[in-house]
Amino acid sequence: MRVLITEIIWNEGIEELINQGFEVDYDETLWKKREKLLEMVKDYDAIIVRNQTRVDYELLDAGIRLKVVGRLGVGLDNIDTTAAKKRNIQVVYARHANATSVAEYVMTAILSANRPLYFADKDIKAGNWDRKKFTGREIANKTIGLIGLGEISHRVAKRALAFGMTVIGYDPYITENDFIVTETGVQVKESLEEVLSESDYISIHVPLTPATHYLISESELKSMKTSAYIINTSRGGIINETALASALINHTIAGAFLDVLEVEPISSSNKLLFCETAMITPHIAGLTQESQIRTSVLVAKEVGKIVKG
């Protein structure tokens, strides 16, 4: 049994694969070397990727022995699942393994927008002592609007409620019997517009699909309060970045926390780089020691089950 790993995996995952009897070939930069990857993949029963490797018709065709694609994370937008199905290649992923990490990132973003500890520390070390400048704001009694009410939103909702926030949300595919509603009491709104206009913080948790591409564009940003922040940990293509940069430059919204971008790594000409009120991170919301160990071991186990039949 041979497995090819094309992006970063934690050692615990490799150990799990070896314990199961796999021969493991691991190159965390292989996703960048397309020709080499296409040449190598024919010799493997399984391939394990994150979100950078393009697993398309061409790669799946080249993988004549492939039984399974393992995705270290959630979100299958880099994998052509239809093409995999046609070739009888299964796709497994780390369902929910990093949801808590993403939820904690969202809370960090909201808290840091209101309590600028990092900047206060920098100011003190520059020789100042300015208490007024760093007066914060409470998040209790503010409203968070969740777009998409799945696993991550469920965990954000529980944390936001613990901070005394009001939680509202929009998701046309859930019903009042869904666990997020019954367990947290999140107020589900009929329209996206209602959530956008009523929230102080908007957090996006939908998959990237043709239906969610540019879900947030110029008119949606116009519906937001001028004091509101938008947080995107979902996928870059869900927010129209040109429209967002205009909203930030014209101060029609207060700020944005962006963990994901239309093009990753960010291009040096991306206007968002020059927006003071955009806080950008390199797709790390789900990336913690705990989540990566969970993800690597889970995917290794699932891949093993399929290859062994």
Positions marked catalytic: 235, 264, 283
Helix 151-162 and helix 99-114, axial crossing angle in degrees, nearest 10: 40
Report the residue from 132, 173, 175, 177 that binds ligand NAD according to the rule CB under 6 A. Answer: 173
Give me the numbers of helices (H) and strands (E) for the chain, helices first please. 12, 12
Report the residue from 46, 72, 74, 110 that binds ligand NAD according to the rule CB under 6 A. Answer: 74
Rounded CA separation 95/93 (Å): 6
**For ligand NAD, what does the binding mask look like between residues 175 and 204, x meaning CB under 6 A?**
------------------------------
**For ligand NAD, what does the binding mask look like between residues 80 and 99, x meaning CB under 6 A?**
------------------xx
Report the residue from 285, 298, 300, 303 that binds ligand NAD according to the rule CB under 6 A. Answer: 285
CB of 97 to ligand NAD, least distance (A): 9
Note whether 146 binds ligand NAD by CB under 6 A: no
Note whether 295 binds ligand NAD by CB under 6 A: no
Q: Are 139 and 163 in contact (CB under 8 A)?
A: yes
Report the residue from 79, 106, 139, 152 that binds ligand NAD according to the rule CB under 6 A. Answer: 152
Pick between residue 70 and residue 150 the one whose CB is nearest to ligand NAD: 150
Residue with the shortest CB distance to ligand NAD: 150
- Nearest alpha-carbon partner for 56 in 30, 78, 32: 78
Rounded CA separation 110/202 (Å): 10
Q: Are 204 and 231 in contact (CB under 8 A)?
A: yes
Note whether 71 binds ligand NAD by CB under 6 A: no
Instruction: Count the neighbouring beta carbons within 10 Å of the beta carbon of residue 134.
Output: 15
Torsion angle, alpha carbons of 294, 300, 301, 307, to 10? 160
Candidate segments 3-11, 119-127, 183-191, 230-238, binder of ligand NAD by CB under 6 A: 230-238
Instruction: Count the neighbouring beta carbons within 10 Å of the beta carbon of residue 64.
Output: 11
- Nearest alpha-carbon partner for 273 in 283, 284, 258: 258
CB of 21 to ligand NAD, least distance (A): 30
Pick between residue 145 and residue 255 the one whose CB is nearest to ligand NAD: 145
Note whether 171 binds ligand NAD by CB under 6 A: yes
Pick between residue 22 and residue 105 the one whose CB is nearest to ligand NAD: 105
Report the residue from 13, 63, 286, 304 that binds ligand NAD according to the rule CB under 6 A. Answer: 286
Torsion angle, alpha carbons of 303, 305, 307, 309, to 10? -160
Rounded CA separation 280/91 (Å): 30
Which positions touch ligand NAD (CB under 6 A)?
74-75, 98-99, 102, 147-153, 170-174, 205-208, 211-212, 215, 233-235, 259-260, 283, 285-286
